[in-house]
Amino acid sequence: MGKRYNILQIIAESGGEQVAYCEVIVEIAHEQVDRVFTYRVPQGLVLQPGTRVLVPFGPRKVEGYVIRLLSQTDLPEARIKDVLSALEGYPALLPHMMELALWIRDRSHCPLVEALRLMIPAQMRGGRIRERTQAWYALSDGIEDIDACVESQRRAPKRQRILRALQGGPLSGELLAQQVGEPGEALRALCEQGLVERYTEEVLRRPYAEMELRAIQDPPLTEEQQRVLAEIYPALEGGEGRFLLHGVTGSGKTEVYIRAVRRCLQRGKTAIVLVPEIALTPQMVEWFRSRFGQEGAVLHSRLTPGQRFDEWRRVRRGEARVVIGARSAVFAPTEDLGLIIVDEEHETTYLSDRTPRYDAREVAANRCDREEATLILASATPGMGSFARALEGDMTLLEMPNRVLGRPMPSVQLVDMREELRGGNKSIFSGALMEALRDCMRRGEQAMLFINRRGYNTFVKCRECGYVVKCAQCDISMTYHQASQIMRCHYCGAQKEPPQTCPACSGVSIRYFGAGTQMVEEAVKKAFPGIPALRMDNDTTRSRDAHYDLLSRFGKGEARILIGTQMIAKGLDFPNVTLVGVVAADSTLNLPDYRAAERTFQLVTQVAGRAGRAQAPGQVVVQTYEPDHYCIQAASRQDYRAFFAEEMTFRRRLAYPPYAALCRLLIESPDEDTARHTLQALQGQMEAFFHRHPGLRGQVLMEEATEAPVKLIRGKFRYQLFYKLAGKPAEETLQKLSELSRIDWQRAQVYAEVNPVSMM
Ligand code: ADP
Ligand code: ZN
């Protein structure tokens, strides 16, 4: 077996000698304090590497992380201060997590403390969250004759009732109150007499505690599932293996995850399952909890801080050995990691857009290398980069080309909306979709309607002069929300009354264009009065449990039609859904982004995959203005390989990733001149850099200093220095870009981005 990380071992390594000092990284994210500071460990304080401590720092007291223990130091004694206290009785950071933080620091060029912060729940910092405890009561050990004891309290009937209640075993204060009503006074007296003992115990705040669990029996595996697992099991044994699992929608990937995780647990190891947006997929949590029970922990951002803290500690203490969660769960404090699974690996939610920026898939791969674990990336529509790597042999490709139990792929019908228009149909539903919906409702089944935009109309425009109403803060067209009869900016939330006349030409032909979820909902209500429908988008899911509520209502059949944005595209498995309608497949295709075709293919394929997942066959109607586009064509056949081939040709021809990298320095400033000047300064710096490194300039295919595609967001002007770099960009170039972004550019913010999720 390879190297195991073990805290005790590290302590032993740091010398049986007297620990006298420690090196600490303080909780201040600033370049100038991005180094360790040495403190004295006072007598009697037991510290380990990874323990969080409170230390004096200048006039302040700050939190910090112990990085290393020392038996001696060269620093003058007089200059060294004492550690004030340990914040927890255990190291919050495991040794391998500290190494991971170092790696992230090097990769994203951030202060170490920013990387360390990723490893613990945010609310642990500053002591904003604590353990919750509960009082318990028990009969004292000394009591031998309970009847005599009760008799001794003859004149206090309540005390007698308490003693009798505790005869059956310890009770929490809460339960005791239920049984005897207001026990306070009597209880205190019994404790004082030494007849009852009080103690406190931790109460864990568990998410989804009230979720009903169905007992699920393991289905016999399909042939494809067996074949795939036959490759995964030996890798788990060996603590190795990088897999890309490409399985069509409904091929039963989840069951593969379950079996792999279980094998991992049997071997005494732990596992992490990443899902793109777990808050949106309560179904995922449900299967997970019914299969793994107490062994499983759930980590994501919609948990309360208390729940997150408690789940994190259950993992840290080894009580929960499987973690399911969103992006940040890749930092779960598991020991003896055996497996990381990344479900829907193509999703952009795996890229963190806050500093330090990271790609959860890369972090997962790094952890697996370091901790000798198996990595499985899985998707019905793998990202271009991942599939290319698998074809090159960097990962082992596993394929599940068929749905389980011989269920057919849904049949997809493409509807050319140009012809609908020519035929005089101006409504948002084509004749074909209308008819399919009618049939589906008549059969008593359920349907899902997908549209990429929320709101009612996506823009408001003057017919005469072409003026489009934009957000004054953001330079983005505003969306009309009919329920509130107001226009909203989806970037900053600003609101505005729609104009009666055109602000540009004073014309009176202000019109509303583009369909959003609200419009689809209204059209459904009009066409199917009496049939209950639900709408799921950012507007209807603001509260903590909204996703869960909406989906479980749909799951129970309380609604027959579910209308939604991307939120309904992935991972959902409703057996009664036999019809899926894609209302406007082109809305993503026309985005000014080189990934528009990939995104469209993924969305249409994934949405279509929601249909016909049980016995009844599925039908999909895709409405589009570009029925001949290769991404629409391939999606309609669920033909990933065909799409991949065409798309790679396109990417190679235009030198887009994975053949090149798109990097930019994005400048934001409330003052346009400042933004422009900063851009010039940055350009000068890069010019000088390339002058010193002519070899690196050879990678530059294109350089552009311009306004960003969206020039104004939230009142900030945006400019960019954009580079297209051939192949894999040189580390020095990335380092330089990152360095420039960290300089204090007065009145302007600079961000360094490499292949960012959004190029706006
Ligand atoms: P995917 O994630 O690949 O789209 P799922 O894992 O959601 O597909 O599986 C699709 C459906 O098939 C689910 O309803 C699941 O319960 C069912 N299923 C998976 N494996 C089996 C099996 N071996 N036997 C019977 N049903 C299965
Ligand atoms: Zn705005």
pLDDT one-digit tens code per residue, 565-583: 988 887 678 889 999 999 9
Assess whether the C-beta atom of 613 lies below 6 angstroms from ligand 1: yes
Q: What is the Cα–Cα distance from 149 to 145, expressed in whole angstroms?
A: 6
Q: How would DSSP label each residue in 326-394?
A: SGGGGG---SSEEEEEETTTT-GGGB--SSSP-BHHHHHHHHHHHHT-EEEEEESS--HHHHHHHHHTS
Q: Is 252 in the pocket of ligand 1 (CB under 6 A)?
A: yes
Nearest CA to ligand 1 atom 23: 221
pLDDT above 70 as % of the chain: 96
Give all strands (DSSP E) within 516-616, no chain letters: 533-536, 561-564, 577-582
> Which ligand 1 atom is the nearest neighbour of the CA of 614?
14
* pLDDT tens, position by position, 70-90: 988 889 988 999 999 999 989
Task: List Cβ neighbours of 57 (8 Å cut-off, separation of 6 or more).
Answer: 26, 28, 37, 64
Per the omega criterion (within 30 degrees of 0), is the bond before 356 cis?
A: yes
Alpha helices in 501-558 (DSSP H): 517-527, 546-555
3-state SS assignment for residue 733: helix
Atom of ligand 1 nearest to the CA of 248: 3
Q: Please tell me the predicted confidence (pLDDT) of residue 281.
A: 67
The number of the ligand nearest the C-alpha atom of 608 reads 1
The CA 588 to ligand 2 mean position distance, Å, reads 20
Using the mean position of ligand 2's atoms as its centre, give its distance from the Cα of residue 712 in Å: 9
Reading the block at residue 233, the tokens are 């099991």
Protein residue whose Cα sits closest to atom 16 of ligand 1: 252
**Alpha carbon nearest to ligand 1 atom 15, residue:** 252
Q: Is 344 in the pocket of ligand 1 (CB under 6 A)?
A: no
CA distances from 171 to 161, 178, 192, 197, 701 (A): 13, 10, 18, 11, 72
Residue 31 predicted with pLDDT over 80: no
* Among 244-258, 299-313, 467-481, the range of highest mean pLDDT: 244-258
For residue 11, is pLDDT > 70? Answer: no
Ligand 1 atom nearest the C-alpha of 254 is 6
Q: Is the CB–ligand 1 distance for residue 404 below 6 Å?
A: yes
Q: Could you tell me which of 530, 566, 525, 567 has the C-alpha nearest to residue 546?
A: 567
What pLDDT, on the 0 to 100 scale, is given for residue 211?
A: 67
Is the CB of 254 inside a 6 Å radius of any atom of ligand 1? yes
What is the H or E stretch that residue 670 is in?
none
- Cα of 468 to ligand 2 centre, how many Å? 14
Phi, psi of 296 (to 5 degrees): -100, 145
Query: Looking at the CA of 712, which ligand is closest?
Result: 2
CB of 255 closer than 6 A to ligand 1? Answer: yes
> What separation in Å is there between the alpha carbon of 252 and the centre of ligand 1?
4
Report whether residue 402 contacts ligand 1, using a CB cutoff of 6 Å.
Answer: no
pLDDT 10s digits, 168-192: 888 888 888 888 887 778 888 888 8
Ligand 1 centroid from CA 614, angstroms: 9
pLDDT of residue 29: 81
**Cβ–ligand 1 contact at 646 (below 6 Å):** no
Rg (CA), the chain: 30
In one-letter notation, the amino acid at residue 621 is V
Per-residue confidence (pLDDT) for residue 212, from 0 to 100: 66
Protein residue with least CA distance to atom 1, ligand 1:
250
For a mutational test of ligand 1's pocket, the pick from 218, 347, 381, 404, i.e. the residue with the most ligand atoms closer than 8 A to its C-beta, is: 404
Residue nearest to atom 19 of ligand 1 (CA): 252
List, in sequence order, every residue forming a beta bridge with 172; answer none if it has no partner: 136
- Give me the pLDDT at residue 4, please: 37
Find out whether the beta carbon of 573 lies less than 6 Å from any atom of ligand 1: yes
Mean pLDDT across the stretch 97-123? 90
pLDDT at 280: 61
The answer to whether the CB of 249 is under 6 A from ligand 1 is yes
The listed range with the strongest mean pLDDT (224-238, 462-476, 716-730) is 224-238
Q: How far is ligand 2, taken at its centre, from the CA of residue 494, in Å? A: 5
| pLDDT of the residue at 210 | 67
At 2, is the pLDDT very low, low, confident or very high (cuts 50, 70, 90)?
Answer: very low
Task: Choose between 368 and 509: higher pLDDT.
Answer: 368
pLDDT at position 8 over 80? no
Mutate to test the pocket of ligand 1, among 227, 245, 251, 255 (most ligand atoms within 8 A of CB): 255
Q: What angle do CA 24, 27, 29 make, to 5 degrees?
A: 115
Output the CA 681–ligand 2 centroid distance in Å.
Answer: 28
Distance of CA 472 from the midpoint of ligand 2 (Å): 7
Q: Give Cα separations from 540 to 192, 306, 431, 460 (angstroms).
A: 55, 25, 29, 23
Beta strands in 58-177 (DSSP E): 60-70, 81-82, 85-86, 132-139, 171-172
Q: pLDDT tens for residues 329-353?
A: 999 999 999 999 999 999 989 998 7
Lay out the sheet containing 716-726: strands in order across: 700-713, 716-726, 660-669, 749-754
Closest CA to 378 of 235, 571, 233: 571
- In this prediction, residue 118 has a pLDDT band, given cuts at 50, 70 and 90, of very high
Query: What's the whole-number mean pLDDT along residues 299-303?
Result: 83
Say yes or no: CB of residue 605 within 6 Å of ligand 1.
no
Residue 284 pLDDT = 77
Q: Determine the distance separating the centroid of ligand 2 and the alpha carbon of 457, expressed in angstroms.
A: 16
Q: Report how far residue 587's alpha carbon sits from residue 728's, in angstroms, rounded to the nearest whole number.
A: 31
**Highest-scoring range by mean pLDDT, 161-170, 205-214, 254-263:** 254-263
The residue contributing the CA closest to ligand 1 atom 9 is 252
pLDDT at 316: 94
Quick check: CB of 222 below 6 Å from ligand 1? yes
> To test ligand 1's pocket by mutation, which of 275, 343, 573, 602 has the most ligand atoms within 8 angstroms of CB?
573
Q: Of the residues 254, 615, 640, which should be mutated to test ligand 1's pocket, given the most ligand atoms within 8 Å of the CB?
A: 254
Q: Which ligand is nearest to the CA of 223?
A: 1
Ligand 1: atom nearest CA of 575 is 14
Q: Cα(506) to centroid of ligand 2, in Å?
A: 23
What is the CA(621)–ligand 1 centre distance, in A?
Answer: 23
Counting atoms of ligand 1 from 1, which one is nearest the CA of 287? Answer: 16
Which ligand 1 atom sits closest to the C-alpha of 222?
23
Paired tokens of 563: 């209308």
> Which of the four pLDDT bands, split at 50, 70 and 90, describes residue 722?
very high
Ligand 1 atom with the smallest distance to the CA of 249 is: 4
Q: What pLDDT was estimated at residue 170?
A: 87
Which residues of 599-727 form beta strands (DSSP E)?
619-624, 660-669, 700-713, 716-726
Q: Partners of 323 in the beta sheet?
A: 272, 297
How far is ligand 2, taken at its centre, from the CA of residue 455, in Å? 15
Centre of ligand 2 from the C-alpha of residue 458, in Å: 14
Residue with the larger pLDDT of the pair 222 and 540: 222
pLDDT tens per residue across span 392-443: 999 999 999 999 988 888 889 999 999 998 999 988 999 999 999 999 999 9
Q: Is 389 in the pocket of ligand 1 (CB under 6 A)?
A: no
Euclidean distance between CA atoms 437 and 443, whole angstroms: 10
Could you report the per-residue pLDDT of 352-365, keeping only the tens digit for each? 877 788 999 999 99
- For the Cβ of 383 lying below 6 angstroms from any atom of ligand 1, the answer is no
Q: Write down the pTM of the prediction.
A: 0.86
Any idea which ligand is nearest the CA of 716?
2
Q: How many angstroms does the Cα of residue 403 sit away from the middle of ligand 1?
A: 8
- Ligand nearest to the Cα of 477, by number: 2
For ligand 1, is residue 338 a contact (CB within 6 Å)? no
pLDDT exceeding 90 applies to what percent of the chain?
54
Q: Which residue has the tokens 């899985």?
A: 378
